[in-house]
Amino acid sequence: MKKRHSTKTNYPLQALSIIFFLFLGILVLLPAVYTLCNSFMSPSEIRQYYAAAINQREQGGAAFHLIPDAFSLEGYYMVFLRRTNYLMKFWYSLFLCIAISAGQIFVSALGGFAFAKYPLPFKKGIFFLLMVLMMMPIQVTLVPNYIILDGLNLLDSWLALILPMAFLPFGTVFMAQIFKGIPDEILDAAKLDGAGTFQILFQIIAPITKGGIISVFLLSFVDAWNMVEQPITFLRDIFRYPLSVFLASVNQVNFELSFVCGVLAALPILLLFFFFHEELAQGIELSGVK
């Protein structure tokens, strides 16, 4: 006769787990909520609470002030209509990130398709090197990229940022793993119908792996949006710096607008993940399916 095992719920442990993860969630969300709430302060109110700490005129930190004394859109008005240099940097950075992400998709699709479906010489060794490069920090490749860009006379131009970022190995490795899950019978049937390599890739395979392509776009966009070392290394003209570098100067010159600038800087990333989070999850899932 089989014994029945009764499962008892450990309510104290469950309650502690809920409290712990709730506390962890508050810690994660607090900086974003703090920045958003302070962005609705007037510049005079921000100077009142934070000027002493930012200018280092007294010991200690600034007082934690979450809720504005009076709701104000003056900061947004100044950024959009009075201090247009921020918006110029915003649109310039958006152009750079879209160009980098589009280049990353094109290079990753071609490279990943070749590694997954074609018998290339030394394919395993080259793919292993790509994985090694992918695990290296970006700072390791700054000097080699600088030498190459200097030889091509591309320093201090927007191509100096786009080309190295478009050829990062992550996208190729990621797409190769996805393309390996595509049955070879689909390719063989397309070839029998007279389709060429580019036609197979962009008209047949790309729609099937849309989630993976969107994932590469999102991840490369985030990487490009947050880049700091590359502009400082490859650009001599500070007026060509993207928003990620320009934000540091906001705290020094117009610190009363730093919260508004922080909210607007996070907006593109938040919108992309809000609208395409399902495709991102699908792409990551496809990359793990063999």
Give the integer Cα–Cα distance in Å for 125 and 136. Answer: 17
Q: 1-5 contacts: CB < 8 A, separation 24 or more?
A: none
> Which domains can be identified in the chain, with CATH numbers?
84-287 (1.10.3720.10)
Tokens 């899950």 label which residue? 181
> What single string gives the DSSP state of each residue in 46-96?
HHHHHHHHHTT-SSS-PPP--S-SS---HHHHIIIII-HHHHHHHHHHHHH
Nearest to 272 by CA among 214, 233, 227: 214
Distance of CA 24 to the CA centre of its chain: 23
Nearest to 208 by CA among 143, 90, 116: 116
Give the pTM. 0.83
Question: How high is the pLDDT of residue 97?
Answer: 95
Give φ, ψ of 59 to 5 degrees: -75, 155
Give the integer Cα–Cα distance in Å for 278 and 288. Answer: 16
Give the integer Cα–Cα distance in Å for 204 and 108. Answer: 16
Q: Which amino acid is at 261?
A: C
- The H or E element that residue 198 is part of is helix 197-199
Residue-level pLDDT, tens digit, the chain, 290 residues: 455 555 556 777 888 888 998 999 888 888 888 888 888 888 888 877 777 666 654 455 556 677 888 888 888 888 888 777 888 889 999 999 999 999 999 999 999 999 988 888 888 899 999 989 888 888 888 999 999 999 999 999 989 999 999 999 999 999 998 998 888 888 888 888 888 888 988 888 988 888 889 999 999 999 999 999 999 999 988 888 999 888 877 767 677 788 888 898 899 999 998 898 888 887 777 665 44
Question: How high is the pLDDT of residue 119?
Answer: 86
Question: How high is the pLDDT of residue 4?
Answer: 53
Helices (H) and strands (E) in the chain, counts: 15, 0
Sequence-ordered list of residues with C-beta below 8 angstroms from that of 130, at least 6 positions apart, any chain? 169, 172, 173
Sequence-ordered list of residues with C-beta below 8 angstroms from that of 230, at least 6 positions apart, any chain? 138, 142, 160, 161, 164, 165
